Amino acid sequence: MRIAITGSIATDHLMTFPGRFGDQLVADQLHRVSLSFLVDDLQVRRGGCAANISFGMGCLGLSPILVGAVGADFADYRSWLERHGVDCASVHVSETFHTARFLCTTDEEHNQIASFYTGAMAEARLIELQPIADRVGGLDLVLVSPNDPDAMLRHTDEARQRGIPFAADPSQQLARMPGEDIRQLVDGAAYLFGNDYEKGLIEQKTGWSDEEVLGRVGVRVTTLGPKGVVIDRKGEPSLHIPSAPELGKADPTGVGDAFRSGFLAGLAWGLSLERCGQIGNLTATHVLERVGGQEYELRQRVFLERFSAAYGAEAAAEVAQNVRCHYA
């Protein structure tokens, strides 16, 4: 099964300021702010929804096709993703802009000053799916994850027109998109992903009820944080799959993306929706245990042992026939 993962590709530059922003701001001088914070830590994390999701699928042994727009500075990031099995041949490289970047400085009281530079991401709207399908011999599923909103609409339209099944994952872009656009992203999707808050937001903004949304998609996958995931199909009882026990909690950034990596891997292997949800949950747990969205390692033996402990030996045996983790 050939799956294209469209969406954002970005890096996060995270700094810590060992003081308080408030002490540097002079109340009657706010009309001419000129401040420089001497920070004592810089972490650069690879991120972006499509890159995170593709990375996780690569770690499970698949070769997902990453589709998004970056700048000339992408070289290092590209080799990292390729080393983890991601097909980056269809990534569009802008001639003008840098790769999208999130810059955030946090002070000692957890106040934050951040900027998000969209950069090359705006060019994702120029990407056409057909040449990608031609290159790889056809696409079986296209995931439309958070990206330049015009790109999300375009990929969905093109998939619909060409009869390629698509999965809608509007997630954090729901907040800024009008209801009419959200309807276009969701209507006719083979799969719809979101957390429980986003499920409510989709209903509120589209004006469609829970039932109506379900009637317009094949399968609705709603993640519930520590409570796991619920999978709904019209006319069938919902499946609730509890989360996989975590060994520790470091940072939730990227859990939702990792869930999608695991879920889509299960689909690619032709496993049941229950298995897909379980693989998603366990992959997400690995991210929770590390700081950053791509800092985790999947090890074949450990992954299967943990899977078996969480969901039983029989289920683990099905996964074992398919999963080929990046590390032994």
Ligand X SMILES: Nc1ncnc2c1ncn2[C@@H]1O[C@H](COP(=O)(O)OP(=O)(O)OP(=O)(O)O)[C@@H](O)[C@H]1O
Q: Which residues are catalytic?
A: 257
Supply the minimum distance, in Å, between the C-beta of residue 33 and ligand X.
31
Residues at the interface with Mg ion (CB under 5 A): 171, 256
- Paired with 117 in beta bridges are 101
Strand partners, 193: 221
Residue numbers 160-199 binding ligand X by CB under 6 A: 195
- Binding segment for ligand X among 6-14, 68-76, 249-257, 299-307 (CB under 6 A)? 249-257
Shortest distance, CB of residue 18 to ligand X, whole angstroms?
27
Taking CB atoms, the residue at the shortest distance from Mg ion is 256
* Residues 213-242 interacting with ligand X (rule: CB under 6 A): 223-226, 228-229
E strand intervals along the chain: 3-6, 10-17, 41-47, 65-67, 69-70, 92-93, 100-107, 112-117, 141-144, 166-168, 191-195, 219-223, 229-232, 239-241
Q: Is 52 in the site for ligand X (CB under 6 A)?
A: no
* Minimum distance, C-beta of residue 296 to ligand X, in the bound complex (Å): 13
54, 88 contact by CB (below 8 A):
no
Instruction: Please list, in sequence order, all residues whose beta carbon lies within 8 angstroms of the beta carbon of residue 302, skipping any fewer than 6 positions away.
Output: none
Q: Does 85 bind ligand X (CB under 6 A)?
A: no
Q: Is 258 exposed, middle or buried (0-12, 13-18, 19+ CB in 10 A)?
A: buried
Under rule CB under 6 A, residue 246 binds ligand X: yes
Is 259 a binding residue for ligand X by CB under 6 A? The answer is: yes
Pairing of the two strands 41-47 and 92-93: unpaired
Give the range of 98-106, 255-263, 268-276, 296-304 binding ligand X by CB under 6 A. Answer: 255-263
Q: Please report, as ranges, the residues that interact with ligand X according to CB under 6 A.
A: 195, 223-226, 228-229, 243, 246, 252, 254-257, 259, 281, 284-285, 288
